[in-house]
Amino acid sequence: MDQASTLSSTSRLSRTEPTRREKARGAGGQVLLYLILITLAVVMMFPYYWMLVNSLKGPRGFTANPYSLVPDTVSFDSLTYVWSTGRIGIYLKNSFIYAAVVLVAQTTINSLAAYAFSRITFPGRDTLFIVVLATMMLPYSVLLIPTYLIIWRFGLANTVPGVVLPGFASAYGIFMLRQFFLNIPMELEDAARIDGCNRLRIYAQIILPMAQPALITLGMFIFMSEWSSFTWPLVVLSDWKKYPITVGLSLFRDEQSLYWDRTFAASLIATLPLVLLFFAGQRYIVGGISLTGLKG
Amino acid sequence: MATETYSAGRTEVRVRPPLWKQPRKWIAGYIFTAPAITFIVIFSIISIIVSLYISFFQYDVISEHSPYVGLGNYREALFEDDLFWRALKNTFLYVLGVVPAITVFGFLLALIGYKARHGRSFFRTVYFLPSITPMVVIALIWMWLYSPKGMLNEMLASVGIRGPNWLFDRHLALPSVMVMSVWQAVGYYTVIYLAGLADIPPDFYDAARVDGASWWQEVRYVTVPLLRNVTLFVTVTLAIGAFQVFTQVYIMTRGGPGTATATLQFIIFRNAFQYFRMGYAAAISWLLFIAIFVLAMIQLRLNRSERIF
């Protein structure tokens, strides 16, 4: 999915030959360019580095020298302390459960709908699809209160289903998968249908395997946004044993603002899974983002 | 088993399914979309109706009856609630500060990054990292950077300046939150602009070069106009998000000091889930929706009239 690099390398070949003056400017330009890029990279990475270093100083080391860029002695005391309270483990487990449930539900529900919208002709299909797209226009802000009231009316406030159900279908996911499904050749399906496959088998055995990259991209987006979501669980949950890591972390602000080293340690634990996921699936994520901006 | 094939000697024959099986063709469409439509109907369509409905009532969840107040909630927000206007002003300041800054920085960063010959994917990863980090984490780390004895003031102290108390100063709190938000979002939009740059056919630059255009002229007359649609997408999505800013404010300042960082979403949250004034909060959320809608329309209109910058 790395269009940027492939395109630019070919474009450099097809450009007119630069003059000598341009070459000289180019070399100097590259130096300046890297100076800017590296400076900004430091600015971007600094808070992360900071989080890491201060998690490893230990409570004593941090109090003694909160500003040092390198820990005098590496100590895991802050991390073990935060972990030993037992709360972080519960928060992490909750976050994983919420993100995993929404991930499975959304990929299934959205891909079923996307399949119908892209490949089955049925009365009212286009009207339905336009309605689905229109819901993308509704700001989260307007939906927050009524969503809470609906969940509360169903008796699901402060429950696991209450947290995950509103995220089970997303217009954006349906739209994205539909775009992808439209590009899968119809002939594949026709052949299968002649062989007597029903719709469900075609969807499960032809379309889903073909759409794997799109499903992985969508899956990553879902997982990351669920893991990071804060406002909804904050609103719907009241029992700390059900808090995801984001809401759990926000308690550190009040309870432990005097113990910054613990806050850093907990933040590090909360961020690590996402960073690992990002490095594992970077291709999919960056590719997916490039798509939203242009083809949207 | 809708159709069967069998070889009748030389040619394949498709047997049409009997008529009573025909409707199944489109029934499948309803079955496949049913789950998604159900959730969208409940959590988007019914939600919107509920939201509009309760905004005309004095609804607080707890009491037995909720009197109908018509446009009373809206009137209260617009004419009696100073905090609403304060929040509206803060929100607008935030949007007008953050959106252009992220757009311009994201664009410039993409421009620079695109010209780099090596390590492009490394820089892209580094710049992108903040946009995949939970906002709660970012807000906590920056709270420490901004704290009176935090890193920022330590740096200022090293060059002999006494740093202020960033998040507790009436004039500095909102700009401090804005700086953090810009830092957080820039990388994401850089990636979008990079994809846009990759889509520009090189012929345009060749033509500009033949005409002896300077680097700045290239950017001004080739790149910016050709990326107009990307810019529109970026500014509109950013504005919609920025209007609803909440987490940063909730974690870092709780709307304070005083009301210096109270944003619309923050007072909606507070009214709905701390004072249980659901009807009033819903009314404010509709006013916020109108603000978003008006601004988006203005952006689309500006985009049609040839001049973005």
Q: pLDDT tens for residues B122-157?
A: 898 899 999 999 999 999 999 989 988 888 999 999
- Rounded to the nearest 10°, the torsion over CA B296, B44, B46, B267 is -60
Output the pLDDT for position A199.
87
User: Per the CB < 8 Å rule, is B288 touching A142?
Assistant: yes
Q: What is the Cα B249 distance to its own chain's centre?
A: 15
Q: Which of B142, B238, B149 is nearest to B190 (CA)?
A: B238
Contacts of A267 (CB under 8 A, 6+ apart): A51, A55, A249, B137, B140, B141
Q: Does residue B121 sit at the A interface (CB-CB below 8 Å)?
A: yes
Share of chain B above pLDDT 90, in %: 66
- How many Cβ atoms sit within 10 Å of the Cβ of residue B213? 16
Q: Which of B124, B133, B189 is nearest to A47 (CA)?
A: B133
Q: What are phi and psi of A153, to 5 degrees?
A: -60, -35
Q: Which of B72, B55, B74, B93 is nearest to B259 (CA)?
A: B93
Output the pLDDT for position B81.
95
Contact B261, B173 (CB under 8 A): yes
Q: Which of A278, A227, A231 is nearest to B187 (CA)?
A: A278
What is the rounded distance in angstroms from the CA atom of residue B243 to the CA atom of residue B31? 38
Output the pLDDT for position A25.
61
Q: Tokens 């009176």 sit at which residue?
A: B148
Higher-scoring residue by pLDDT: A18, B283: B283
Whole-number Cα distances in Å, B23 to A122, B73, B174? 9, 50, 60
What is the rounded distance in angstroms from the CA atom of residue B265 to the CA atom of residue B242? 10
Q: Does residue B254 sit at the A interface (CB-CB below 8 Å)?
A: no
Output the pLDDT for position B31.
93
DSSP state of B282: H
Those of residues 78-137 in A touching chain B at CB distance below 8 A are 108-110, 112-113, 115-117, 120-123, 125, 128, 131-132, 135
Higher-scoring residue by pLDDT: A71, A48: A48
Output the pLDDT for position B243.
96
In angstroms, what separates the C-alpha of A128 from chain B's closest C-alpha? Answer: 8
Quick: pLDDT tens for A122-151: 888 999 999 999 999 899 999 999 999 999
Q: Does residue B26 sit at the A interface (CB-CB below 8 Å)?
A: yes
- Give the lowest-confidence range in A45-54, A92-101, B263-272: A45-54
Minimal Cα distance from B194: which residue of A? A4
Output the pLDDT for position B308.
44
Q: Does residue A14 sit at the B interface (CB-CB below 8 Å)?
A: yes
Q: Where does chain B have alpha helices with state H?
A: 24-40, 47-54, 72-75, 82-115, 120-132, 135-146, 151-158, 173-198, 203-210, 215-218, 224-226, 228-243, 247-252, 264-273, 278-304
Q: Sorting pLDDT into bands at 50, 70 and 90, what band is B304?
A: confident
Beta pairing class for B11-15 and B4-8: antiparallel
Those of residues 146-205 in B touching chain A at CB distance below 8 A are 149, 151, 154, 183, 187-188, 191-199, 202, 205
Output the pLDDT for position A1.
42
In angstroms, what separates the C-alpha of B171 from chain A's closest C-alpha? Answer: 23
Output the pLDDT for position A253.
81
Q: For helices B278-304 and B228-243, what crossing angle results, to 10°? A: 160
Quick: pLDDT tens for B199-215: 888 898 889 989 888 88
Quick: pLDDT tens for A71-101: 888 889 889 988 988 899 999 999 999 999 9
User: Per the CB < 8 Å rule, is B39 touching A168?
Assistant: yes
What is the rounded distance in angstroms from the CA atom of residue B35 to the CA atom of residue A113? 8
Chain A positions touching B35 (Cβ under 8 A) are: 108-109, 112-113, 168-169
* Ramachandran bin of B254, using left for φ above 0, alpha for ψ from -120 to 50, beta for the remaining angles: left
Output the pLDDT for position A11.
42
Question: Mean pLDDT throughout A206-226?
Answer: 93
Contact B268, B291 (CB under 8 A): no
Output the pLDDT for position B24.
63
What is the rounded distance in angstroms from the CA atom of residue B265 to the CA atom of residue B244? 5
A vs B, Cβ pairs < 8 A, gives: 298
Question: Mean pLDDT throughout B37-42?
Answer: 96
User: Per the CB < 8 Å rule, is B47 touching A36?
Assistant: no
Those of residues 218-277 in A touching chain B at CB distance below 8 A are 224, 227-228, 230-231, 235, 245-247, 249-250, 252-253, 260, 263-264, 267, 270-271, 274-275
What is the rounded distance in angstroms from the CA atom of residue B243 to the CA atom of residue B253? 17
Output the pLDDT for position B309.
42
Contacts of B211 (CB under 8 A, 6+ apart): none
- pLDDT tops 50 at residue A7: no
What is the rounded distance in angstroms from the CA atom of residue A70 to the CA atom of residue A59? 15
Output the pLDDT for position B65.
84
- Give the lowest-confidence range in A18-22, A96-100, B98-102, B231-235: A18-22
- The amino acid occupying position A193 is R
User: Per the CB < 8 Å rule, is B145 touching A169?
Assistant: no
Mean residue pLDDT of chain A comes to: 86
Residue B126, Cβ density class (10 Å: 0-12 exposed, 13-18 middle, ≥19 buried): buried
Output the pLDDT for position B15.
63
What is the rounded distance in angstroms from the CA atom of residue B283 to the CA atom of residue B293? 15
Output the pLDDT for position A63.
83
- How many Cβ atoms sit within 10 Å of the Cβ of residue A49? 11
DSSP state of B169: S
Output the pLDDT for position A190.
84
- Rounded to the nearest 10°, the torsion over CA B97, B100, B104, B109 is 60
* Ramachandran bin of A239, using left for φ above 0, alpha for ψ from -120 to 50, beta for the remaining angles: beta
Output the pLDDT for position B288.
97
- pLDDT tops 70 at residue A3: no
- Give the lowest-confidence range in B7-16, B49-58, B119-128, B235-244: B7-16
Chain B positions touching A5 (Cβ under 8 A) are: 120-121
Exposed e or buried b per residue across A141-150, where buried means at least 16 C-beta atoms within 10 angstroms of its C-beta:
bbbbbbbbbb
User: Per the CB < 8 Å rule, is A285 touching B137?
Assistant: no
Q: Does residue B260 sit at the A interface (CB-CB below 8 Å)?
A: no
Share of chain B above pLDDT 70, in %: 91
End-to-end, the C-alpha distance of chain B in Å comes to 61
